[in-house]
Amino acid sequence: MASIKPSVPKGTRDFSPVEMVKRNYIFDTIKSVFRKYGYQQIETPTMEKLETLTGKYGEEGDKLIFKILNTGDFVTDGKIDSSNFNPDYKKLTPLISGKALRYDLTVPFARYVVQHQNEITFPFKRFQVQPVWRADRPQRGRYREFYQCDADVVGSDSLLNEAEFVLIYDEALSKLGLKDFTIKINNRKILSGIAELINRGDNIIDLTVAIDKLDKIGLDGVTKELLERGFTEADIEKIKPVILLQGTNAEKLQSLREALAESAAGLKGCDEIETVFTYLQSCPLQTATLELDITLARGLNYYTGAIFEVKTNEAAMGSIGGGGRYDDLTGMFGLKGLTGVGISFGADRIYDVLEELNLFPTTANQTTKVLICNFDKEGETYGLPLLQQLRRQNVNAELYPAGAKIKKQLDYANNKNIPYTVVIGGDEIASGLLTFKDMSSGVQEKLTVDEIVERMVR
Amino acid sequence: MASIKPSVPKGTRDFSPVEMVKRNYIFDTIKSVFRKYGYQQIETPTMEKLETLTGKYGEEGDKLIFKILNTGDFVTDGKIDSSNFNPDYKKLTPLISGKALRYDLTVPFARYVVQHQNEITFPFKRFQVQPVWRADRPQRGRYREFYQCDADVVGSDSLLNEAEFVLIYDEALSKLGLKDFTIKINNRKILSGIAELINRGDNIIDLTVAIDKLDKIGLDGVTKELLERGFTEADIEKIKPVILLQGTNAEKLQSLREALAESAAGLKGCDEIETVFTYLQSCPLQTATLELDITLARGLNYYTGAIFEVKTNEAAMGSIGGGGRYDDLTGMFGLKGLTGVGISFGADRIYDVLEELNLFPTTANQTTKVLICNFDKEGETYGLPLLQQLRRQNVNAELYPAGAKIKKQLDYANNKNIPYTVVIGGDEIASGLLTFKDMSSGVQEKLTVDEIVERMVR
């Protein structure tokens, strides 16, 4: 028998009842907004075939995929024996493993779309909230198992989708109680335009990696980095006005149009951004500040149009959401020409922000509302019909399942955050007036069964 | 690039939007009942340490656990090379794998209770709805990934818990629309009493395995099997009245008390069953038939008191739920003496039953309620404020994101089961009266924007 306390694998977590209520609150809020905008939920298996995942996340990503050992005699099935045993684990892996844990929700979604293309009505607006697994080195805020919370639409190039994602961010985060956050938007074509401006289309990644750091290292730092990366003083002089773009979104857009006048791609990017802004004029945001930020790049190789990122201004925290448009999601599985755009909510970070700002609601319908305390068989028998009546009225209720000391029963209520208790002792049974206690105020009253039910239902 | 259609691993499933709505309906219903009875949700990681799972499910079970290959260079880390390579996969496995996928929810729950014993308030009433993985041969209705839906209470020996589980089954399955189902109850101590009756306490498993088949093979079959298993004619004669128990639950209990008069365990079992029945007299069942079935055994080695099983009488289907009391759940992790009782819902089977009986509700708040169709930029611009108004009133609404042919837009609505559409063409814009269509009746009306919003909200 184990004498050491058991534990969970490194980088994974148990979620306690209190944490689950809070997590469900976040997920339910986001899901309800996804549904309001016409997104439909799907789920894909935890395991995918190794061939589905391999090569989709780059060499580094492939290393971080959790592989599943084939079941049964994987040595014989893999035709491995002492004579041909190859100690290179990369060679050995495909012989003994054919499945792996989902690494993100995007690749399984692409696989889903291709596999079910004949059953799907396009445009296909789907959301998916499931865990993913990555063998990253665990650290504060980074786990090996964590939930992703994604919405994507494929098969529609309308920029209304982009506008609606801005609205979804605004509505969901407003609902969660955030009062000051920024949705940053950029467009890959604007970044291409900037690179074209200096005839460095091939070096767009070097360029964007450098200007992405403007916030942190300032213009001098960016200049230094660009020089190191092979850009000339003349290049830098030419793009400086673009990097230092100032003013309202409309002013920035106007300056960009002037600066990128020579670039067809750049102007296309400006047009797209402007169309999104126009949509949003008829659908004003509740809380969010929308900011055109041309330093925003995020997984640049992936995105082909809009790029989004969301940051809260109330807490020190990285981005709490991001996404963008990609023109060839399903090409990796042989289905070409399907455009898509999607966003993701960073649920773990949102959890930390709500915790820090004390924004989790104190009342939740996910916990017990009233505990009936009793001291003996007689009290229990007296309490059962009350328990039944409460539950019949859809009140979450419990009867303490033993005639324990009152302190123990009230501790139980406090530890479970049960807001009300009813005490049934000999006096209460004799008078028919039960002791009803509001656990947060400490106020006690003598009430009949009917009065208690009435109080709990309203 | 892949030219073959991608697919999911054997025995796993994608869930489409339509399936997800139905699955959520089942899970949400069951969860709401768990919560009403004071059960709190927890989640545990998908992966557990291999040592947590190994040896808990018997030798056969161990083989069916999906193991996860260690990340990084598992060959070097496992100190394996060509000279010491052992082709016995059972010897190799622990060298290259230290984690595995959850095989059920019970062992992870036991691990959770022991690990967090100092944070938990007992009695601890928890529920858990998560997938589990088993490398079983897939067949109709049996998957390698499936959800379990469990509620357990640990740290309370009160039989009120048993009674409440009967109520939970009754309420949840009634809510799901089942009209005729049986909750069978038995008690391990009664089975012990029957074995004691013929001084065969050591052969209780042989005995129960045989009488468990009474339904299928009849008394002659059971007699034959008992003889084969080494019981005597005299044994069989002595237990025959017990096996053939008839009448109401009260009559059966009375007959059992007489037959088991010599067995302390047997009488204890009768007392426990009677206590549960007494509780249920003050809390009458809505729909279920409660049946004392002394042939019910289910994983006998595990249970020490009550045993439950639920069957629908409306469809040919195995059990749709089961559970029981176990006196030493956490002993496997070194925490002794903690008694528990729990139940499980068979979600996949319940899904099939509801499908067969056509019991899924046609309206669900998980889908879009109204689609706004349009033909051009003008229609889209006209539709946007309507879309906003609907969403502000919490109506799930979509604007078709392109000026496509009307047939395509209506097909989209039909395929997504969207019950209402609004068409905005030139005439509609000119008159301010939009074409509002009930998609199931086909009835069309001309309504103003405000009338449409009013209609959709109520």
Can you give the three-state secondary structure of B52-109, one letter per residue? HHCCCCHHHHHHCCCEEECCCCHHHHCCCCCCCCCCCHHHHHHHHEEEEECCCCHHHH
Q: In this complex, do A14 and B367 lie within 8 Å of one another by their Cβ atoms?
A: no
Q: In this complex, do A72 and B64 lie within 8 Å of one another by their Cβ atoms?
A: no
Neighbours of A5 (CB within 10 A): 13
Q: What is the CATH classification number for the domain harbouring A452?
A: 3.40.50.800
Q: In this complex, do A89 and B99 lie within 8 Å of one another by their Cβ atoms?
A: no
Q: Which of A1, A4, A10, A14 is the best substitution to test chain B (most B C-beta atoms within 10 A)?
A: A14
Q: In this complex, do A47 and B97 lie within 8 Å of one another by their Cβ atoms?
A: no
Q: Which of A16, A24, A421, A457 is the best substitution to test chain B (most B C-beta atoms within 10 A)?
A: A16
Specify whether the CB–CB gap between A156 and B401 falls below 8 A: yes
Distance from the Cα of residue A394 to its chain's centroid: 31
Partners of B56 on chain A (C-beta within 8 Å) are none
Q: In this complex, do B40 and A49 lie within 8 Å of one another by their Cβ atoms?
A: no
With residue A424 as reference, give the H or E element that holds it: strand A420-424
Contacts of A408 (CB under 8 A, 6+ apart): none
Q: What is the CATH classification number for the domain harbouring B322?
A: 3.30.930.10
Q: In this complex, do A41 and B133 lie within 8 Å of one another by their Cβ atoms?
A: no
**Separation between Cα atoms, residue B67 and residue B62, nearest integer Å:** 10
β-bridge partners, B130: B148
Work out the widest C-alpha separation in chain B, in whole angstroms: 94
Given this model, what pLDDT does residue A2 score? 45
**Separation between Cα atoms, residue B212 and residue B146, nearest integer Å:** 27
- Kindly state whether residue B89 falls inside one of the protein's structural domains: no
Last residue of a domain, one of A330, A356, A382: A356
User: In 3D, which of A142, A140, A172 has the Cα closest to residue A312?
Assistant: A172
Q: In this complex, do B334 and A131 lie within 8 Å of one another by their Cβ atoms?
A: no
Confidence class of residue B215 from pLDDT cuts 50, 70 and 90? confident
- Kindly state whether residue B297 falls inside one of the protein's structural domains: yes
Q: Which of B4, B13, B16 is the best substitution to test chain A (most A C-beta atoms within 10 A)?
A: B16
Last residue of a domain, one of B306, B325, B356: B356
Last residue of a domain, one of A356, A379, A396: A356
Q: Which of B1, B44, B68 is the best substitution to test chain A (most A C-beta atoms within 10 A)?
A: B68
Given this model, what pLDDT does residue B300 score? 60
- Kindly state whether residue B122 falls inside one of the protein's structural domains: yes
Q: Cis (ω within 30 of 0) for the bond into B9?
A: no
**Does A278 lie in the same domain as A152?**
yes
The whole-angstrom distance between A15's CA and the closest CA on chain B is 5
Partners of B13 on chain A (C-beta within 8 Å) are 45
With residue A420 as reference, give the H or E element that holds it: strand A420-424
- Kindly state whether residue A71 falls inside one of the protein's structural domains: no
The whole-angstrom distance between B171's CA and the closest CA on chain A is 10
β-bridge partners, B186: B307
Q: Can you tell me the mean pLDDT for B120-140?
A: 95
Residue in A closest to B415 by C-alpha: A121
**Separation between Cα atoms, residue B373 and residue B355, nearest integer Å:** 32
Exposure string (b/e) for B278-312, b if CB count within 10 Å is 16 or more?
ebbeebeeebbebbbbbbbbbebeebbbbbbbbbb
User: In 3D, which of B274, B1, B35, B315 has the Cα closest to residue B182?
Assistant: B315
**Does B316 lie in the same domain as B250?**
yes
Q: In this complex, do B76 and A87 lie within 8 Å of one another by their Cβ atoms?
A: yes
Written as one string, the DSSP assignment of A290-350 is EEE-TT--SSTTT-SSEEEEEEESSS--S-SEEEEEES-SGGGGT--S--EEEEEE-HHHH
Given this model, what pLDDT does residue A302 score? 79
Partners of A119 on chain B (C-beta within 8 Å) are 16
Q: In this complex, do B75 and A88 lie within 8 Å of one another by their Cβ atoms?
A: yes
- Kindly state whether residue B252 falls inside one of the protein's structural domains: yes
Q: In this complex, do A161 and B401 lie within 8 Å of one another by their Cβ atoms?
A: yes
Q: In this complex, do A42 and B123 lie within 8 Å of one another by their Cβ atoms?
A: no
Sites in chain A below the pLDDT cut of 70: 1-3, 299-300, 364-366
β-bridge partners, A307: A186, A324
**From the list B123, B333, B398, which residue is nearest A6 (CB)?**
B333
Number of CB pairs < 8 Å for A and B? Answer: 298
Q: Where is pLDDT greater, at B318 or B177?
A: B177
**Separation between Cα atoms, residue B166 and residue B33, nearest integer Å:** 12
Partners of A72 on chain B (C-beta within 8 Å) are 63, 89, 135
Specify whether the CB–CB gap between A448 and A432 falls below 8 A: yes
Whole-prediction pTM: 0.95
**From the list A45, A85, A385, which residue is nearest B9 (CB)?**
A45
Question: CA geometry: angle at B303 spanning B302 and B304, to 5°?
Answer: 125
Q: In this complex, do B368 and A38 lie within 8 Å of one another by their Cβ atoms?
A: yes
Q: In this complex, do A8 and B87 lie within 8 Å of one another by their Cβ atoms?
A: no
Q: In this complex, do B8 and A115 lie within 8 Å of one another by their Cβ atoms?
A: yes
Instruction: Give the model confidence (pLDDT) of A307-317 as tens digits.
Output: 999 999 999 99
Pair of tokens at residue B295: 């042939």
The whole-angstrom distance between B362's CA and the closest CA on chain A is 16
**Separation between Cα atoms, residue A210 and residue A194, nearest integer Å:** 13
β-bridge partners, A434: A447
Pair of tokens at residue A143: 């786990």
Contacts of B266 (CB under 8 A, 6+ apart): B189, B190, B192, B193, B194, B196, B197, B256, B259, B260
Q: Which of A36, A48, A120 is the best substitution to test chain B (most B C-beta atoms within 10 A)?
A: A36
Residue in A closest to B280 by C-alpha: A384
β-bridge partners, B294: none
**Does B307 lie in the same domain as B195?**
yes
Q: Which domain holds residue B246?
A: 17-45+104-356
The whole-angstrom distance between B193's CA and the closest CA on chain A is 27
Contacts of B309 (CB under 8 A, 6+ apart): B183, B184, B293, B296, B298, B319, B321, B322
**Does B395 lie in the same domain as B325?**
no
Partners of B17 on chain A (C-beta within 8 Å) are 40-42, 126
CA-CA distances (angstroms) from residue A323 to A273, A297, A320, A338, B59? 15, 10, 11, 17, 47
Residue in B closest to A90 by C-alpha: B73
Partners of A145 on chain B (C-beta within 8 Å) are 45-47
Q: Which of A121, A146, A388 is the best substitution to test chain B (most B C-beta atoms within 10 A)?
A: A121
**Separation between Cα atoms, residue B44 and residue B40, nearest integer Å:** 13
Given this model, what pLDDT does residue A244 score? 86
Q: Which of A1, A41, A377 is the best substitution to test chain B (most B C-beta atoms within 10 A)?
A: A41
Helix (H, G, I), strand (E, B) or coil at A5: coil
Partners of A87 on chain B (C-beta within 8 Å) are 75-76, 80-82
Partners of B279 on chain A (C-beta within 8 Å) are 384
**Separation between Cα atoms, residue A260 and residue A190, nearest integer Å:** 8
**Does A300 lie in the same domain as A402?**
no
Residue B123 has pLDDT above 70, yes or no: yes
Q: In this complex, do B87 and A75 lie within 8 Å of one another by their Cβ atoms?
A: yes
Q: In this complex, do A41 and B366 lie within 8 Å of one another by their Cβ atoms?
A: yes
The whole-angstrom distance between A123's CA and the closest CA on chain B is 8
- Kindly state whether residue B51 falls inside one of the protein's structural domains: no
Considering chain B, what percentage of its residues have pLDDT values greater than 70?
98
If one counts the domains in chain A, the total is: 2
- Kindly state whether residue B157 falls inside one of the protein's structural domains: yes
**From the list A7, A67, A74, which residue is nearest B89 (CB)?**
A74
Partners of A398 on chain B (C-beta within 8 Å) are 37-38, 125
- Kindly state whether residue B99 falls inside one of the protein's structural domains: no
**Does A276 lie in the same domain as A391?**
no
The whole-angstrom distance between A222's CA and the closest CA on chain B is 36
Partners of B73 on chain A (C-beta within 8 Å) are 89
**Does B326 lie in the same domain as B291?**
yes
Specify whether the CB–CB gap between A429 and A379 falls below 8 A: yes
Helix (H, G, I), strand (E, B) or coil at A146: strand
| Burial (CB count <10 Å: 0-12, 13-18, 19+), residue A32 | middle
Token pair 């709190």: residue: B40
**Does A374 lie in the same domain as A315?**
no
User: In 3D, which of A280, A309, A310 has the Cα closest to residue A163?
Assistant: A280
Given this model, what pLDDT does residue A397 score? 96
Specify whether the CB–CB gap between A260 and A241 falls below 8 A: no
Specify whether the CB–CB gap between B449 and B385 falls below 8 A: yes
Q: In this complex, do A37 and B398 lie within 8 Å of one another by their Cβ atoms?
A: yes
**Does B399 lie in the same domain as B307?**
no
Given this model, what pLDDT does residue B1 score? 44
CA-CA distances (angstroms) from residue A69 to B47, B64, B71, B153? 13, 12, 12, 34
SS (H, E, C) chain B: CCCCCCCCCCCCCCECHHHHHHHHHHHHHHHHHHHHCCCEECECCCEEEHHHHCCCCHHHHHHCCCEEECCCCHHHHCCCCCCCCCCCHHHHHHHHEEEEECCCCHHHHHHHHHHCCCCCCCCEEEEEEEEEECCCCCECCECCEEEEEEEEEECCCCCHHHHHHHHHHHHHHHHCCCCCEEEEEEEHHHHHHHHHHCCCHHHHHHHHHHHCCHHHHHHHHHHHHHHHCCCCHHHHHHHHHHHCCCCCHHHHHHHHHHHCCCCHHHHHHHHHHHHHHHHHHHCCCCCCEEEECCCCCCCCCCCCCEEEEEEECCCCCCCCEEEEEECCCHHHHCCCCCCEEEEEECHHHHHHHHHHCCCCCCCCCCCCCEEEEECCHHHHHHHHHHHHHHHHCCCCEEECCCCCCHHHHHHHHHHCCCCEEEEECHHHHHHCCEEEEECCCCCEEEECHHHHHHHHHC
**Does A373 lie in the same domain as A233?**
no
> DSSP state, A203?
G
Q: Which of B85, B143, B399 is the best substitution to test chain A (most A C-beta atoms within 10 A)?
A: B85
User: In 3D, which of B18, B347, B59, B319 has the Cα closest to residue B185?
Assistant: B319
Q: In this complex, do B69 and A72 lie within 8 Å of one another by their Cβ atoms?
A: no
Q: For B213, how many CA atoms within 13 A lie in the half-sphere containing its CB?
A: 15
**Does A338 lie in the same domain as A371?**
no
Q: In this complex, do B116 and A16 lie within 8 Å of one another by their Cβ atoms?
A: yes
Neighbours of A199 (CB within 10 A): 10
**Separation between Cα atoms, residue A427 and residue A197, nearest integer Å:** 87
Partners of A5 on chain B (C-beta within 8 Å) are 114-115, 333-334
Q: In this complex, do A85 and B85 lie within 8 Å of one another by their Cβ atoms?
A: yes
**Does A258 lie in the same domain as A111?**
yes
